Amino acid sequence: MRTSLKSRFMPSLRTSRLGQGACYFGLAALLAMTAATAQVAPLDATGLDGSGNAKSEMAACNSGKTQQDRVACATEVRNANAEKRAGKLGNGNDYTANAMRRCEVFKESEDAAACRARVEAQAQINGSVAGGGVLRQSDIAVPAAPR
């Protein structure tokens, strides 16, 4: 006489393997998505608060919540705090004028005009600050020299 271990309360071996495989797949997908979203940070997420409080900014540096390494972050906090005490630290909202001053280094008028065109958003912009840099590219048509 043969006895079967199957019952209506125990799933078959094939069903449990299928369910187990689906469970592992779901777990792997969840871990992959968690890892992918953990590496994405907003462009302006520096980890520092906007209050200018040196103690809280230094604490953020030491906790590793910033995009910089600890030494560079601590140096930036100390330098900004020294400039704040000296009254040299402005609000820094005049970004366009700041960028235009960088174009003054060009001696040729064509090069300076090309620099201003890139700054004034007439350029194709690629990259991000968080990714290591912003590249601005503009195309200028130059007529061929007469023969």
DSSP 93-142: --HHHHHHHHGGG--SHHHHHHHHHHHTT-SEEEEETTTTEEEEE-----
Inside any domain, residue 70: yes
Give, in degrees to the nearest 5, the angle at Cα 113 between 111 and 116: 110
Inside any domain, residue 19: no
5 confidence band (pLDDT: 50, 70, 90) = low
Residues 81 and 112 in one domain: no
Say how many domains are in the chain: 2
Question: Residues 6 or more apart from 47 whose CB is under 8 A from it?
Answer: 60, 65, 66, 67
Handedness of CA 120, 126, 129, 132 (dihedral sign): negative
pLDDT for 98 beyond 70: yes
pLDDT for 41 beyond 50: no
Domain containing residue 64:
54-86
Contact indicator for 59, 49 with CB cutoff of 8 Å:
no
Residues 104 and 130 in one domain: yes
d(CA 133, CA 125): 10
Say which residue, 145 or 37, is predicted with more confidence.
Answer: 145
d(CA 58, CA 68): 12
105 confidence band (pLDDT: 50, 70, 90) = very high
Return the pLDDT at 108: 92
